Amino acid sequence: MSMIELIAVDKKFGTVKALDGVNLQVNKGEVVTIIGPSGSGKSTLLRSINELEKIDSGRIEVEGRMLVEVKNGNAKHPHGKTTRELSKKLGMVFQHFNLFPHKTVLENIIEAPMIVDGLKRGAAVHRALSLLKVVGLEDKQDSYPSRISGGQKQRVAIARALAMEPEVLLCDEPTSALDPELVGEVLLTLKQLADEHMTMVVVTHEMAFAREISDRLIFMDQGRILANGTPQQVLDNPEHPRIKEFIDKFI
């Protein structure tokens, strides 16, 4: 079943085509990673799905239902209730974590379930603690973000996103801001989620990780998807010279 679908999505920044006729389908339970050179539109693609960027044209569907459609510059959205229902299915993890600095780890995680979903504090805390266990940070619940490491921050951010019980987790370079020795713990957490068949779209520069967890690998260049297949298909026999060039830099 299709979880997310992008149909002919365009996005320009000034004259730069960040997304150029992108078509992409992500199925339920699938782990899709996106690789590509800097500026190729990977973040823009992920952010468009979450409506952190407004697309210029095309259509985005979540579970087969229209989230946004832009035709000739006119944007169409479903009713507010449907929009909220659909965007609630999307969780996001950012490169720079974006934890709320004035809230403790626990408060970061219970914030949205309580405020957005109206969960009682007790239930929200219960959920948060079990998520902290999943990411291995039960002992940090009362720390402020400034007092924990980058790897721990990212794991809290993952727990915070999961607390809204999304159907899909969108991760934009979740380990790029981390010191090398902290990358492993975050990748491990993400792998754990992949093993539990969480639907994920992950932008990453970690090739070994991409190869290991991806059901599908996507290569982007200049706003276009140049390759879309299993990691083996894309990485082992790159058909496109741009992909070959890109991969050679990693070996």
Partner 1 sequence: MNYIDYIIATTSYILSGASLTLGLCAVTVAGAVPLSILCALGRVSGPKVIGRALAIYAWIFRGTPLLLQLFFIYYGLSIFGFNLPPFTAAGLTFILNYTAYMMEIFRAGIQSVDRGQYEAAKALNLTYWQTMRRIVLPQALKQSLPPSCNEAISLLKDTALVIVIGMGDLLRCAQEVFTRDFRITPFILAAIIYLLLTSAIIAFFRQLEKKLEVYN
Ligand X SMILES: Nc1ncnc2c1ncn2[C@@H]1O[C@H](COP(=O)(O)OP(=O)(O)OP(=O)(O)O)[C@@H](O)[C@H]1O
List residues binding partner 1 (CB under 8 A): 50-52, 84, 87-88, 90-92, 94, 96, 98-103, 111-112, 115-116, 144-146, 157, 160-161, 164
Shortest reach from residue 119's CB to ligand X, in Å = 34
- 3-state DSSP call for residue 149? coil
CA pair distance 59, 101, nearest whole angstrom: 35
**Applying CB under 5 A, what is the total number of residues that bind Mg ion?**
1
**Is 13 a binder of ligand X (CB under 6 A)?**
yes
Instruction: Answer for the pair 120, 99: CB distance below 8 angstroms, yes or no.
Output: no
DSSP string, 43-59: HHHHHHHTTSS--SEEE
For the chain, the distance separating the N- and C-terminal CA atoms, rounded to the nearest angstrom, is 36
Least distance CB 39 / Mg ion (angstroms): 8
Residue 8 binding partner per list ligand X, partner 1, Mg ion, none, with a CB distance cut-off of 5 to 8 Å that depends on partner kind: none
Closest distance of CB 139 from Mg ion, Å? 32
Max intra-chain CA distance, the chain: 55
Give the three-state DSSP class for 42.
helix
User: Which residues touch 178 (CB under 8 Å, ≥6 apart)?
Assistant: 150, 151, 154, 186
Find the shortest distance in angstroms from Cβ 15 to ligand X. Answer: 10
Instruction: Work out whether 189 is an interface residue with ligand X (CB under 6 A).
Output: no
Residue 58 carries which side chain, given as an amino acid letter?
A: G
Which does residue 115 touch among partner 1, Mg ion, ligand X, none (CB within 5 to 8 A, set by kind)? partner 1
In the β-sheet with 57-62, what is the strand arrangement from edge to edge? 16-27, 2-13, 57-62, 65-71, 74-76
Q: Tell me, what DSSP letter sits at residue 176?
A: T
38 binds, among partner 1, ligand X, Mg ion, none (CB under 5 to 8 A by kind): ligand X
By CB under 6 A, what part of segment 38-57 binds ligand X? Answer: 38-44
User: Using CB distances below 5 to 8 A depending on partner kind, what does residue 207 bind out of Mg ion, ligand X, partner 1, none?
Assistant: none
Q: Is 43 among the residues that bind Mg ion (CB under 5 A)?
A: yes
What is the smallest separation between the CB atom of 19 and ligand X, expressed in angstroms?
Answer: 8
Cβ neighbours around 116 below 10 Å, total: 11
> Nearest Cα to 11, choosing from 38, 37, 49?
49
44 binds, among partner 1, ligand X, Mg ion, none (CB under 5 to 8 A by kind): ligand X
- Given the rule CB under 6 A, which residues bind ligand X? 13, 16, 18, 36, 38-44
- Given the rule CB under 5 A, which residues bind Mg ion? 43
